[in-house]
Amino acid sequence: FVFIEYQNEFTSEGGKLHGAVKECMEKTNMLENSADLAKYARSKGATIIHCPINFEPGHAEISDEPYGILAGVKEGAAFTNGEWGSEFPEKMKPEPGDLIVKGKSGLCGFESTNLDFLLRQKGATNVVLGGFLTNCCVESTMRSAYEKGYKVYTLKDCSAATSVAAHEATFEHNFGMFSIPTTAEEIKKSLVPSN
C-alpha cells in the first residue's frame, strides 16, 4: 500500500491546499477510508508505505522560474520541511513497521525517491495507491508503477483532486489504462493474512 501525500497541507483545516481538495475529500470520504484501510491492511500483515513530498525552506529544489503545479507549491511555500503543513495528520501517522519514502520533491512517487527499492525489498508485486492529487501525483506514480511491472490498483474512495469532476474524469478516462480502479472495501475483501 502506498499512501501519497497524506500531509496537513492537504488533509487538515489550515493546510495551504486543504480548501482546494476539501469538497472532493468529503465526497469520497477518503481520509477516513484511507485510515481504516491502512489499519485493516496492517492487521493482515501488508506493508504500508507513506510517500510524502517535502521541500527545504525557500524551495530551492524547484526551478527559479517554475510553472504548473510546482509554481503554486513554491509560491505558497507549501510542504516545507519542519513545518506543520508537511507533517502527517493524526489519522494517517506512520505506525511502527510502516515505511516512509525519502526524497520526493516532484510529482511521481518513484522519481528521485527510494520507493522502488522499498517495494522490491519487501518482494512486492502488487501496488495499491491512494492519496493526493488523483490527477497529479497519484496518476504519475500509477503510470510509473505500471511501467515498472507492478500490478497496480488505484483506490477511488481513498484519493482526492482539486475538484470532484477532475477526480471522476481521471478515474473514468485514465486509470483503467494503467491500473485496476477499485475501492477500499474491495481491497479489504481480497486481503489474506501473510505468513
pLDDT in tens, 138-161: 999 999 999 999 999 999 999 999
- Which residues lie below 8 Å from residue 94, measured CB to CB, with a gap of 6+? 48, 50, 88, 100
Q: How high is the pLDDT of residue 170? A: 97
Q: How many Å apart are CA 113 and CA 91, to the nearest integer?
A: 24
Phi, psi of 113 (to 5 degrees): -120, 180
Q: How many Å apart are CA 12 and CA 181, to the nearest integer?
A: 26
Task: Divide the 195 residues of the chain into consecutive groups of 10 and give the mean pLDDT of each group.
Answer: 98 98 98 98 97 97 96 97 98 98 97 97 97 98 98 98 97 97 97 74
CA atoms within a 13 Å half-sphere pointing along the CA-CB vector of 49:
24
Q: How high is the pLDDT of residue 193? A: 73
Containing 2, the helix (H) or strand (E) segment is strand 2-4
Running DSSP on this structure, what letter comes out for residue 84?
G
Phi, psi of 160 (to 5 degrees): -150, 150
CA atoms within a 13 Å half-sphere pointing along the CA-CB vector of 168:
7
The distance from CA 111 to its chain's CA centroid, rounded to whole angstroms, is: 14
Report CA-CA distances (Å) from 108 to 48, 158, 160, 165, 186: 18, 18, 16, 22, 25
Q: How high is the pLDDT of residue 135? A: 97
